[in-house]
Amino acid sequence: MSTHVDGNALAGPLSEMFSVDVTCAKGTCAGCGDTSVLAEARVFVDPMGFVVRCSHCEDVLMTVIAEPDHAMVELSGLSRLILTR
């Protein structure tokens, strides 16, 4: 069984790139249009990177790589990121 965690696990890695807590932001899936809080996204913790999937359609929302010599966030699966104040 391939286990996953949720978007809460991204708070640390994303803190290097964003000054706000992105896990509390809502993201719109570019695939199915679902808008949900990133903390509730399905996150697969691959040693090569965090693969963040839409909890409705499983499409990849984003990938977060936070290695000492390679830090990158690939966001093409998110059409919107909504921060509430």
Partner 1 sequence: MAVISRGFFGRRREENPDLPPGQYLTEDFPVLSAGPTPVVDTADWGFTIETESGLVTTWTWEQLKALPIEDIHTDIHCVTRWSKFGTSWRGVSLDTLFKDIDTTNEYVMAHSYGGYTTNMPLADLLGGKAWIAFEFDGKDLEPEHGGPARLLIPHLYFWKSAKWIRGLRMHSRDDPGFWEQNGYHIYGDPWLEQRYW
Partner 2 sequence: MSGVWKVGVVTETHTETASARSILITIPDWPGNIAGQHVDVRLTAPDGYTAVRSYSLASAGSAPQVQLAVDKLPDGEVSPYLVDELRAGDELELRGPLGGWFVWRPTDTAPVQLIGGGSGIVPLMAMIRSHQDSGSTVPFRLLYSVRTPEDVFFVDELRALGASPTIDITFVYTRQAPVDWPVLPGRVNRDAMEASTFAASDAPSVFVCGPTGFVETVADILVELGHNPNTVKTERFGGK
Residues lying near partner 1 in the complex (CB under 8 A) are found at 1-4, 44-49, 51, 53, 58, 60, 63, 65, 69-70, 72, 74, 76
CA distance 43 to 61: 10
CA distance 26 to 2: 25
Q: Burial, 37: exposed, middle or buried (Cβ in 10 Å; 0-12, 13-18, 19+)?
A: middle
What is the closest distance, in whole angstroms, from the C-beta atom of residue 79 to partner 2 in the complex? 21
3 interacts with partner 2 by CB under 8 A: yes
15 interacts with partner 2 by CB under 8 A: yes
* Pairing of β 42-46 and β 49-53: antiparallel
What is the closest distance, in whole angstroms, from the C-beta atom of residue 65 to partner 2 in the complex? 13
What is the closest distance, in whole angstroms, from the C-beta atom of residue 67 to partner 2 in the complex? 10
